[in-house]
Amino acid sequence: MSLQKGDKVTVIDAKGLILGRMASIVAKRLLNGEKIIIVNAGGAVISGDRYNIIREAHDYLQIGHPGKGPLHPRRPDRIVKRAVRGMLPHKSPRGREALKRLRVYVGVPSEIKGMSTETIPEADAGKLGGRYITVSELAQHIQG
């Protein structure tokens, strides 16, 4: 997806949003034909106990062979994109096309700086009563 003038692109700020809820809403919008850019991917949160999440991520990373796969995402932008991919039928042509309409960035790139961003109120982390960890904190713990 390249940004041309006149393209209708939705920019979503992931800071303070629950990863799974945001991913499911974004996936549905991608399947409806929207082009979506997610910025500040490291600010998304995963609900639960910090140590359990990190331990489960380390256990997940043990699956597979380093040279043959499956390859596991370790960067915040890749973790968010993989979460969205999990909500899409990515093995069908419709799902592959939907995934091509998604871009995910850790910060805010210079070509997107002037664009207005939106948030997803249903996925706001302020509703969480318990503990959580940000995607960037998780990525720091699982770096190889």
Q: Kindly state whether residue 95 falls inside one of the protein's structural domains.
A: yes
Q: Which residue has the tokens 């997610």?
A: 38
Identify whether 127 is part of a domain. yes
**Owning domain of residue 32:** 9-142
Read off the pLDDT of residues 34-83 as tens digits, 9 standing for 90 and up. 999 999 999 999 999 999 999 999 999 999 988 898 888 999 999 999 99
Element spanning 97, H or E: helix 93-100
Q: In the chain, pLDDT over 70 holds for what percent of residues?
A: 95
Mean pLDDT, all residues of the chain: 93
* Tokens describing residue 138: 């998780």
| Token duo for residue 120 | 């997803």
Which pTM was predicted? 0.92
Residue 3 located in a structural domain: no
Count how many domains the chain has. 1
Distance CA 44, CA 79 (A): 10
The pair of three-digit structure tokens given for residue 55, joined into one six-digit string: 């331990």
- What CATH number did the domain enclosing 81 receive? 3.90.1180.10
